[in-house]
Amino acid sequence: MRKSNYTSGRYCRFCFGLLLLVLLSGCAGTIKQEKAAPLPSEISARASCQRQDSLPERIILNLTEEPWSSQAVTWRTFSEVSNPQAQIVRVGESSDLAGTAHTLHADSQPVALGDEQTVYHHGAVFTSLSPDTLYAYRVGDGEHWSEWNQFKTAHESPSPFKFVYFGDPQEQVRSLCSRIFRTAYKTAPDAAFWHFVGDLVDNGDKDEEWAELFDAFGWIPRTTPMILLPGNHEYPDKRYVQGKDFKLFPLWRPHFTLPENGPAGLEETVYFIDYQGVRFVMLNGNEQLEKQASWLEGILSRNHERWTIVAIHQPIYSTGKTRKDSPLKDLFLPVFDRHSVDLVLQGHDHTYSRSAKLKNGSRVTDTEEGTVYVISVSGPKSYPLSSRHQDIMDKSGTDRQLFQVISIEDNRLLYECYDVRGVLYDSFVLKK
C-alpha cells in the first residue's frame, strides 16, 4: 500500500497517452481510415502500466485476537485483480519458499477516492500457525507478487517482550515523522509490535495523507505488526458534523484488519488482544462511550492476564493548555480503578506527561495498586502545557517528537521514552 504505485499508475497512463499522441501526430500524413495495429512500444507501455497497477502496495501486518496462532495482513492495488491471495510458509534453511507455501484467498473491497478513481483493498488472516515461530509471506494475485517478508508469532504463554508506543503523528508525516519511525526501529528492532493511539493523519478522509503515512513507514509494517485505534482526526470535525453523519471516515477500515471482538458497531476501533501475559484494550474516545464503559467492565472482570494496558486517544487527565477535561474521566476512571489497570496510553494533547501511580485521582505508594497515565506525541505539532493536573504528574514537557519502548518481563514493566535523536527523555519501572 504505497503511494509510489498509486502515482506510477497515473504516470504510466499519462506517458502512454503522450506517446500515442506523438506517434499519431507524426504519422498523420500516412494514416488510413482503417484501425492500425498497435505498435510494439504501445504494447510494452500498456503492459508496464498493468503490472504497476496490479502490484501490492501499503502492505501492513496487524495483530489478531490470538497472536500466537494467527496474523492479519492488508494491502492495496490500484487496479482490480481477479484472484487476490496471500502465501505463507514456515521459515527454514531453504530459500525455496514458493514451492512449499500455503496459499490463502483474500477478501477484497473497492474504495472510491473521488474524481472517478477507485482502488482495491485486500485482506487475509493466516490461521493455524505455531506459536513462537518465524514465517515468511507474500501477497499478490498469482502473477504479480510483493517481496517475501517475515514475522514471528507470539508465545502462547507469558514471556518477555517489548513494544513501541506512539502518540499522534498527524502532521508533516512524510517529511518529519519518518525520522521518528526510523529512530524507533533502530532503538528497538526486536519490538514485537508497534502501537499507535490515534491521529495517524490530519485528515482521515484524504487518501494522499494515508499515502504519506505509508511512505514514512517504509517497509517496517511489512515485518513489524501494528495495533491501532482512531483519534478525532480519523472522524469528521464535531464542530461541523453531528448526528448520523458523524462517523468514522471510510478509509480507516480498508487499510487495516483488526480484531472485531469489541461492542457491536465499533468493530476494528474497540477491541482487546492478549499478548504474552498482557491484556491490551483499545478504546475509541469519539463515540458510544457508555457502551464502551459497559463492555470494558465485562472484559476486565474476566481478565486473567498479569498486566493490563489500556489505550485511548483522548486523555483522562488532559495537560494541553487548550484542552478541557472530558467525560471520559467519569466513565472510565472508576473501571480502571476497580480492575487495577496498570498503564493507560494516550495522545491528543500534543504534549508529554506521565502521572504518578494514581487511584481515584490521588497518588498512591509504589507498593499499592494504581494506574500510570501517559500522554505522548510523535509528530511535530505541539501545544503549550497547562498547569492543570501538574500536582499528579511526575514528568511533563512539550515541543518534542517522542516514542516509547515498553518492556515487560514477569512482574516488571520498564517504560522508556526517547526523543527523535534516540536520547532517553523519561523512564520508570512498575513492579507487581
pLDDT in tens, 220-268: 999 999 999 999 999 999 999 999 999 999 999 999 999 999 999 999 9
Q: Is the pLDDT of residue 187 over 70?
A: yes
Q: Which residues pair with 13 in a beta bridge?
A: none
Q: How far apart are CA 130 and CA 89, in angstroms?
A: 11
* 57-152 and 161-431 in the same fold: no
* 270: enclosing H helix or E strand: none
What are the cell numbers at 314?
Answer: 483522548
Q: What is the pLDDT of residue 3?
A: 32
Average pLDDT over residues 394-404: 97
Q: 103: helix, coil or strand? A: strand
- pLDDT above 70 as % of the chain: 88
pLDDT on residue 340: 97
User: In sequence order, what DSSP letters do the residues of 290-328 get, joined into one string?
Assistant: HHHHHHHHHHHHT--SSEEEEE-SS-SS--BTT----TH
Question: Which grid coordinates are listed for 342?
Answer: 496498570
Angle, CA 212 vertex, CA 266 and CA 167 arms, to 5°: 55
Share of the chain above pLDDT 90, in %: 84
Domain 161-431 has CATH 3.60.21.10: yes
Write the CA distances from 408 to 10, 58, 345, 413, integer angstroms.
46, 30, 15, 5
Tell me what the pLDDT averaged over the chain comes to: 90
Query: What values do phi and psi take at 332, rounded to 5?
Result: -100, -30
Q: Where are the domains of the chain?
A: 3-27+38-52, 57-152, 161-431
Fold adopted by 57-152: Immunoglobulin-like (2.60.40)
- Residue listed under C-alpha cell 505522548: 376
pLDDT at 281 over 60: yes
Instruction: Enter the C-alpha cell of residue 147.
Output: 517481496
CA 428/CA 432 separation, integer angstroms:
14
Q: In this structure, which amino acid lies at residue 224? A: T
* DSSP per-residue letters across 195-237: EE-S-SSS-TT-HHHHHHHHHHHTTGGGTS-EEE---GGGS--
DSSP tag of 97: -
Q: Is residue 424 helix, strand or coil?
A: strand
* pLDDT class of 327 with cuts at 50, 70, 90: confident
Please give the Cα distance from 283 to 262 (Å, whole number).
9
What single letter denotes the amino acid at residue 146? S
Three-state DSSP at 185 gives helix
The model's confidence at residue 321, banded by pLDDT at 50, 70 and 90, is: confident
Counted residue by residue, the chain has a size of 432
335-349 per-position pLDDT tens digit: 999 999 999 999 999
Output the nine-digit C-alpha cell for 195.
502501537
**Given this model, what pLDDT does residue 115 score?**
79
The pLDDT tens digits for 23-68 are: 334 433 333 334 445 444 443 444 444 557 899 999 999 999 999 9
Does 430 have pLDDT greater than 70? yes
Contact residues for 66 (Cβ-Cβ < 8 A; gap 6+): none
State phi, psi for 319 to the nearest 5 degrees: -120, 0
